[in-house]
């Protein structure tokens, strides 16, 4: 792609003296980009690399002043100035990256499809050794990669991408444009065990389902349990990282993001627009309101009713928790 084409695509401004026909063939990091690659500076921390970069062009903000950085060689580096270099970079990343076709349109001959499954005939991809059970419904332009299993009665809406080795249990519902990464299990039985008088446990049947609404992304090796009765619900736009545990009857509000290795116990309700760090633990049967931020490794054992930032081995408003830690550290120095 030529520099003038890139500049146009990004609604940017190519620096004077640059060769508009120079050909860019890839994207690199500013420290290591080659002369035929383009790079970007979105964070001022990276401006220091400008002096030495070998990149064929650098996308910068309109405020960037190249004169402040003496180049190590005499080369005048072509710049494209844009409003938001990071957003421009994302756009370009999608355009310039080589596309890998992971799955051909059509149903692989080794996939095992039930006769009663209803599969759209618009651009569906079903990979090798995938399994589609009785009465499963699959929408338009869905891609199901090799060795994924979808059990009886599950419903997959349109434009869904499911990577290999995923398991979706019977009856669960997946919204449009959902992405699910490998190893994730959706709809396994909730952990319901009733204690008998002799100390053994009786399994409580788990008869509900999981509902994943539109535009959700779920990372690798997550577990989302089906409800005992009713639904475990992941609302529209939620983004889950890898290895997250969502127990039965949990509800996660719209546009909440959760980082890796966090676990949420049964029947807890998380609000919308929350940001939950990695390794967070949240006990069962509580509520977290909208707009709560939980820092990494926080454990929450009571409901949170006010928006704000919380942290700690037992969650508190972050300021209190940091003050306590400072006091403990100072105590230990006095003695």
Q: Restricting to residues 39-68, which ones interact with its own copies according to CB under 8 A?
A: none
* Sign, Cα dihedral of 156, 161, 163, 164: positive
* Binder among 36, 131, 137, 309 for its own copies (CB under 8 A): 131
Q: How far is the CB of 82 from its own copies (least distance, A)?
A: 15
Please give the distance of CA 54 from its chain centroid, rounded to a whole number: 32
Q: How far is the CB of 65 from its own copies (least distance, A)?
A: 26
Q: Hey, what's the torsion of the CAs at 13, 18, 24, 27, to 10 degrees?
A: -60
CB proximity list for 47: less than 8 A, separation 6 or greater: 41, 64, 69
Does 120 interact with its own copies (rule: CB under 8 A)?
no
* Binder among 283, 286, 293, 309 for its own copies (CB under 8 A): 283
Count Cβ atoms within 10 A of the Cβ of residue 33 and give its class: 0-12 exposed, 13-18 middle, 19 or more buried. buried
Does 281 interact with its own copies (rule: CB under 8 A)?
yes
Indicate the residue among 183 and 307 with the shorter CB distance to its own copies.
183
Does 241 interact with its own copies (rule: CB under 8 A)?
yes
Indicate the residue among 81 and 248 with the shorter CB distance to its own copies.
248
Give the interface size with its own copies as a residue count (CB under 8 A). 104
Q: Which of residues 181-210 bind its own copies (CB under 8 A)?
A: 181-185, 188-189, 191, 193-194, 199-205, 207
Does 286 interact with its own copies (rule: CB under 8 A)?
no
Does 287 interact with its own copies (rule: CB under 8 A)?
no
* Binder among 38, 172, 174, 265 for its own copies (CB under 8 A): 265
Options 4, 181, 248, 285, the catalytic residue: 248
| Residue 114 burial (CB count, 10 A) | 15
Count Cβ atoms within 10 A of the Cβ of residue 156 and give its class: 0-12 exposed, 13-18 middle, 19 or more buried. buried
Active site residue 248: yes
CB proximity list for 116: less than 8 A, separation 6 or greater: 134, 135
* Binder among 153, 252, 270, 294 for its own copies (CB under 8 A): 153
**Which of 51, 95, 54, 56 is closest to 78 using CA atoms?**
56
Interacting stretch for its own copies, rule CB under 8 A, among 4-12, 54-62, 136-144, 161-169? 161-169
Indicate the residue among 118 and 313 with the shorter CB distance to its own copies.
313
| Residue 207 burial (CB count, 10 A) | 13
Compute the distance between CA of residue 104 and CA of residue 60 in angstroms, rounded to an integer: 38
Instruction: Return the DSSP state at 227.
Output: P
* Binder among 230, 286, 307, 309 for its own copies (CB under 8 A): 230
Does 245 interact with its own copies (rule: CB under 8 A)?
yes
Indicate the residue among 15 and 247 with the shorter CB distance to its own copies.
247
**Which of 65, 67, 62, 69 is closest to 88 using CA atoms?**
62
Q: How far is the CB of 6 from its own copies (least distance, A)?
A: 16
* Binder among 1, 9, 220, 318 for its own copies (CB under 8 A): 220
* Sign, Cα dihedral of 12, 15, 17, 19: negative
Active site residues: 248
């Amino acid at each position: 792609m030529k520099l003038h084409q890139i500049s146009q695509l990004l609604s940017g401004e190519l620096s004077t003296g640059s060769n508009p026909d120079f050909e860019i063939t890839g994207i690199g990091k500013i420290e290591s980009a080659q002369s035929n690659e383009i790079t970007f500076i979105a964070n001022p921390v990276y401006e220091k690399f400008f002096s030495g970069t070998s990149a064929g062009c650098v996308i910068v903000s309109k405020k960037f002043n190249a004169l402040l950085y003496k180049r190590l060689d005499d080369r005048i580096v072509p710049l494209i100035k844009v409003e938001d270099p990071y957003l421009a970079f994302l756009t370009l990343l999608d355009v310039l990256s080589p596309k890998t076709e992971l799955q051909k349109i059509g149903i692989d001959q080794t996939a095992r499809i039930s006769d009663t499954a209803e599969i759209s005939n618009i651009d569906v991809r079903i990979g090798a050794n995938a399994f589609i059970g009785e009465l499963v419904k699959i929408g338009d332009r869905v891609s199901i990669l090799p060795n994924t299993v979808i059990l009886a009665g599950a419903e997959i809406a349109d434009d869904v991408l499911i990577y290999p080795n995923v398991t979706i249990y019977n009856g669960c519902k997946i919204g449009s444009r959902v992405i699910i990464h490998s190893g994730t299990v959706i709809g396994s039985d909730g952990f319901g065990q009733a204690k008998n008088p002799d100390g053994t446990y009786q399994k409580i049947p788990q008869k509900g389902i999981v509902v994943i609404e539109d535009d959700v992304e779920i990372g690798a090796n997550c577990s989302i349990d089906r409800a005992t009765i009713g639904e475990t619900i992941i609302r529209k736009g939620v983004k889950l990282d890898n290895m997250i545990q969502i127990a039965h009857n949990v509800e996660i509000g719209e546009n909440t993001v959760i980082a890796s290795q966090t676990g949420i116990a049964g029947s807890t309700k998380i609000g919308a627009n929350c940001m939950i760090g990695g390794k967070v633990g949240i006990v069962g049967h509580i509520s977290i309101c909208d707009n709560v931020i939980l820092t990494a490794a926080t454990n929450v054992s009571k409901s949170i009713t006010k928006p704000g930032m919380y942290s700690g081995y037992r969650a508190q408003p972050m300021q209190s928790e940091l003050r306590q830690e400072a006091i403990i550290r100072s105590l230990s120095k006095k003695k």
